[in-house]
Amino acid sequence: MNYPTETKCDLKLDDESDICLKQMIQPAPILSNRLEGVKFVLVVLSSKGMVFDLGALRQRIVQAYSDSMIFFQTSSGKALGPVAPHKVDLLIDFVGPGQRQGFFHANCLRRRARFAVGRHAGCFRKRIYDRIYDEFGNDSTCPSELLQRERYVQKQVLALAGVLFIPNAEPTSDRSKTIALELPNLQRLSGVQRF
């Protein structure tokens, strides 16, 4: 499937629509991160915040890797649902810096996986994981609020794993105080009866 890399539009869009449109028309870098022959995916969840429920996360990964089985694990190593096999094809590690995890747990996870994607959360991961997202690097668009930061970083980790995430029901900012100011002035019509 060919996706356009640029679009020219004369419409003035709000910020949320503009972000969604940019993500929809530029999936080529994310799709180039996809791997071949992925049957088993192990997802290690962050202990700071779950920004996606397990069903939605499973659906996104299955859309990217249609023949795969997805297994979830906490940062301490406990399985959520069925236990993953000893060898997996893809490891997606959402555990971030400062979160509780065994010192050599990342090494154990890496030995189990054929390909590993995660966050830069310790001295070993940058050397042992195949793809790392460094949230403290030179990414100036990373938000500072905790849950927004987790949402942004986890989407970036999914992109490194080749999982396309186009938001279709993201919460928008509260505009209840300003929407009335943007409405045109109402004029009284003559001949309208008041009740």
Predicted confidence (pLDDT) per residue in 52-100, tens digit: 888 888 988 998 898 899 999 988 888 888 898 999 999 998 888 777 7
- Write out the two tokens for 190: 């003559």
In the predicted model, is pLDDT for residue 7 greater than 70? Answer: no
- Write out the two tokens for 149: 């930061």
- Write out the two tokens for 182: 């943007």
Residue 14 DSSP class = -
Cα 26 to Cα 3, 76, 194, distances in angstroms:
7, 36, 54
Q: Where are the alpha helices (DSSP H) in 33-103?
A: 54-64
Q: What is the CA radius of gyration of the chain?
A: 22
More confident residue, 9 or 32: 32
In the predicted model, is pLDDT for residue 152 greater than 60? Answer: yes
Average pLDDT over residues 139-144: 74
Sheet holding 131-133, edge to edge: 79-80, 69-73, 40-44, 88-93, 113-119, 131-133
How far is 17 from 13, CA to CA, in rounded Å?
6
How far is 41 from 185, CA to CA, in rounded Å?
56
- Write out the two tokens for 109: 């996870």
Record the pTM. Answer: 0.70
In the predicted model, is pLDDT for residue 147 greater than 60? Answer: yes
